[in-house]
Amino acid sequence: MADHKNTHARQCRHAAAFSCASFLAGAVLVAAGSSAIAQANQHGTQAETCEGDNGGITLSPGFCATIFADNLGHARHMVFAPNGALYVNTWSGRYYQNDTPPAGGFIVALKDNNGHGRAEVIKRFGDGVPKGSAGGTGIAFYKGGLYVEQNDKIIRYPLADSIEPKGSPQIILFGMPLTGDHPMHPFIIDAQGHMYVDLGSATNSCQVENRIMNSPGHVPCTELETRGGTWRYDADAKGQPFSSSERYATGLRNGEGFAFDSSGRLFVTQHGRDQLSQNWPKLFTAEQSAQLPAEEIVELENGADYGWPECYYDGIQKKLVLAPEYGGDGEKVGICAEKKGPIASLPGHWAPNDLLIYTGSAFPAAYQGGAFVAFHGSWNRAPEPQGGYNVVFQPLKDGKAAGDFIVFADGFAGAVKQPGQAAFRPSGLAMGPDGALYISEDVHGRIWRVTFHGTPSAKIAPAKASGVAAANSGEVDPPEGTHPDAGRTALASLAVPPGATKEQVALGDRIFHGEAEGGTCTGCHGSDAKGSPQAPSLVDGKWLHTDGTLQRITRTIIDGVAKPKNFSVPMPPLGGAPLTDSGVAAVAAYVWAISHPSGN
């Protein structure tokens, strides 16, 4: 820890590094903004009223949001440069069902020239699809250069007078793995040029058969040689090949969000493993699986082991416990006593995609030094309600949690919290030179700018109950309200497959939607069965693993799909649910019915 902590603490003596500006933003760049807040409130507490509708989201009291930019593509992480421009990396590929990204490069530069809180200048650059790029997640600024993840590489664009680079990029790192469940490579660079890169795991829990019921874990888990941890490289060096020898810390299944605090401590989020009950139904209930394991914020230290895949963090018992693939039963600790736990734990499966420790002073003192976490949203809590799709605030003090988290921004998902139906899914965070908080999302590519307009002495408080994050700003809600099952096919309109009954189709509908026999189908296929990044549509008549007959649908449910086509998440036998024979027949009849609207 000392090697990066001490050098990073000396960052303010290195004026060439923009990281210094980020940490001093509160003392230097935001002082005027804090003074303005004080002046605005010198006659009392300002009414908590914002112009417009906050871009369709709800926020903690005193905060307001505007739409800074929209429809940018699948926007991931962001960074501000000294020129005042916000740079965003965007992504494409199977996570987005291989849709067509916007024309041009995957990197977007945005700038607000008139100070009205919206980007008037939007420029795309870098390689696009014609040159073989799929974009990426990670992005950072260091020593006059913009560092960007692109496919298996991290490249550097020199920035001069223009917000767009004029020269060709340099390859800093190449050869990172792109296979498996987590092919993204977020990263962060400290003031000394240490570049910390996340290499997410290729599997869920290093099973012999990934995500398959009762499959044991590999011993040893050789995947850890090149995945499941943080690697460290030199941001000043060119042409570095990825290798196992540069591993900095291990046991991190998927650490997407990095952030430094003002003391130089480096933190990273961890996505906990999935499918405890689906893969180990004799050990865990569906309710336990929805809650466990917790998502984590850990302090990153050189040589540390955070437990994956042998261990996971139980947020109820407040300790690391042994994973079932390695002999665990939900209570055993074993070798997990030797692993390093988190400094804060958060609800299971919410998917923490980015982390920002607030170092500015434009927000009240209660928020300064604390952590904002962007949650992409769950798919693995079925049949329990899905969760996340929000931004939370976790108070910190001296590098540890200092109280419970609150939901700071909500309503991104809209009417349905499902991965395939959510209106927006938070994916990135950045702090502007004026201390404003920027939130990106990767469904449409919207960016919100969040500012504070309340009393500087305001305490931490949660956002109001979420409303609908409309797909288009300013769209009003229907007078009859919204309902999560709005897209659910009416049973009366469904045909009944030959040899089945209406009662079977009705029971299959209830199981599919998690209302009977612990059904988990909606977690991957969505409540409208139109698919998600995890699994295909069941209503478009396109079959990947069956011919659409009732017999073949039944067999697929019984056997599962160990190696799915076009998707990364295998389907366990029976979908990982404790289905009876009659339950299997009912689900098969329902899937046939929704996929054959004409009855043919």
- What pLDDT, on the 0 to 100 scale, is given for residue 545? 82
Q: Are residues 520 and 379 in the same domain?
A: no
**Which candidate, 462, 486, 495, places its Cα nearest to that of 598?**
495
| Closest C-alpha to 422, from 450, 438, 441, 448 | 441
Give the containing element (helix H, strand E) for 322: strand 319-322
**Which residues does residue 270 pair with via DSSP β-bridges, in sequence order?**
296
Co-location of 510 and 404 in the same domain: no
What is the reported pLDDT for 466?
67
Question: Does a structural domain hold residue 276?
Answer: yes
Per-residue pLDDT at 39: 33
Around Cβ 199, how many Cβ atoms within 10 Å? 28
CA 364 – CA 437 distance, rounded (Å): 13
Q: How far is CA 157 from CA 147, 308, 352, 430, 502, in A?
A: 6, 35, 28, 20, 62
- What is the number of other CB atoms lying within 10 angstroms of the CB of residue 503? 11
In a domain, 600, yes or no: no
Task: Examine residue 464 and state whether it is found in any structural domain, yes or no.
Answer: no
- Same-domain check for residues 217 and 269: yes
Pair 518, 431 in one domain? no
Domain's final residue, options 452, 474, 505: 452
Q: Is 227 exposed, middle or buried (0-12, 13-18, 19+ CB in 10 A)?
A: buried
**In sequence order, what are the residues at sequence separation of 6 or more whose Cβ sits closer than 8 angstroms to the Cβ of residue 13?**
none
Using only C-alpha atoms, what is the Rg of the chain? 24
Q: How many CB atoms lie within 10 A of CB 348?
A: 29
Alpha-carbon distances of 51 from 54, 55, 67, 141, 407, rounded to whole Å: 7, 10, 12, 33, 21
Last residue of a domain, one of 401, 421, 452: 452
CATH number of the domain encompassing residue 439: 2.120.10.30
Q: Determine the pLDDT at residue 423.
A: 95
pLDDT along the chain (600 residues), means of 10: 42 33 32 36 46 93 97 98 96 88 95 94 95 95 97 95 90 94 96 97 93 93 96 98 96 97 97 95 95 98 98 97 98 98 98 98 97 96 92 97 97 91 96 97 97 95 68 30 43 84 86 81 81 84 85 91 84 88 92 83
Residues 503 and 426 in one domain: no
pLDDT of the residue at 45: 36
CA–CA separation, 437 and 452 (whole Å): 9
Residue 308 lies in a domain: yes
Place of tokens 């952030």: 259
3-state secondary structure 39-91: HHCCCCCCCCCCCCCHHHCEECCCEEEEEEECCCCEEEEEEECCCCCEEEEEE
Residue 196: strand, helix, or coil: strand
Looking at residue 264, its amino acid is: G
The CATH number covering residue 532 comes to 1.10.760.10
171: left (phi over 0), alpha (psi -120 to 50) or beta: beta
| Residue whose C-alpha is closest to residue 158's, from 150, 147, 172, 149 | 147
Under 8 Å between Cβ of 375 and 353:
yes
Number of domains in the chain: 2
Report pLDDT for 113.
93
Say if 575 falls within a structural domain: yes
> Could you give the CA distance from residue 20 to residue 314 in angstroms, rounded to a whole number?
36
What's the maximum distance between 2 C-alpha atoms anywhere in the chain?
Answer: 78
Give the helix/strand (H/E) hosting 559: helix 550-559
Please tell me whether residues 374 and 308 are part of one structural domain: yes
Q: Which residues form the domain of 47?
A: 2-452
Give the pLDDT of residue 9. Answer: 39
Strands 145-150 and 153-158: antiparallel
Q: Is 378 exposed, middle or buried (0-12, 13-18, 19+ CB in 10 A)?
A: buried
| Residue 196 placed within a domain | yes
Task: Verify that 54 and 153 share a domain, yes or no.
Answer: yes
Return the structure tokens found at 377: 């949203």
Q: Is residue 476 part of a domain?
A: no
380 contacts 274 by C-beta, under 8 angstroms: yes
CA–CA dist 149, 333 (Å, integer): 37
**Taking a C-beta distance cutoff of 8 angstroms, is the pair 505, 590 a contact?**
yes
Give the pLDDT score at 490.
Answer: 65
Contact 273, 351 (CB under 8 A): no
Write down the pLDDT at residue 485: 43
Query: Do 222 and 325 lie in a common domain?
Result: yes
Q: Is residue 471 in some structural domain? A: no
Domain ends where: 400, 431, 452?
A: 452
CB-CB contact of 356 with 431 (8 Å): yes
365 close to 402: Cβ distance less than 8 angstroms? no
Residues 41 and 170 in one domain: yes
Do 505 and 435 lie in one domain? The reply is no
Q: List C-alpha distances in Å: 337 to 205, 221, 253, 322, 333.
A: 19, 18, 18, 9, 6
Claim to verify: residue 321 and residue 382 sit in the same structural domain: yes
d(CA 379, CA 532): 9
The answer on 156 and 299 residing in a single domain is yes
Rounded Cα distance, 353 and 76, in Å: 9
Q: How far apart are CA 127 and CA 171, in angstroms?
A: 13
